[in-house]
Amino acid sequence: MTEIGKERGWPELTCEDFDAQQGPQDALLIGDPDEVVEKIVWHSKALGGISRITFMMNPALLPHEKLMRATELIGMRVAPALREQLDGNNGK
């Protein structure tokens, strides 16, 4: 994000900026699978339902093992929980 931000003239992201986006109703999906599911469900309800979500991870900054573990958790825990919680009531 820093390189793209530089190209676009954005100020550098600070630790405070990052921390401000981690809360339960903020933009970043950071946490264990249950926290991620809870946050996505909250956003879906707040937006009247969502049909897609994109997970972005920086492979240049994340060790391969952690990237693979995160991908595994999304597929094995997050996605099934979201299907169960959102598909049954169309995300609302």
**Taking 60 as the threshold, does the pLDDT of residue 83 lie above it?**
yes
**Taking 50 as the threshold, does the pLDDT of residue 10 lie above it?**
yes
Structural domain that includes position 79: 2-89
CB distance 48 to 3 below 8 Å = no
Give pTM, 2 decimals. 0.76
Give residue-wise pLDDT tens across range 46-74. Answer: 999 988 899 988 888 889 999 999 999 99
**Taking 60 as the threshold, does the pLDDT of residue 37 lie above it?**
yes
Q: Domains in the chain: how many in total?
A: 1
Q: How far is CA 62 from CA 12, 25, 34, in A?
A: 19, 24, 21
Among the listed ranges 10-14, 19-23, 27-31, 88-92, which one has the minimum average pLDDT value? 88-92
Helix (H/G/I), strand (E/B), else coil: 73: helix
**Taking 80 as the threshold, does the pLDDT of residue 92 lie above it?**
no
What integer pLDDT is reported at residue 1 of this predicted model? 55
CA dihedral 19, 22, 23, 24 (to 10 degrees): 180
Q: How confident is the model at residue 91 (pLDDT cuts 50, 70, 90)?
A: very low
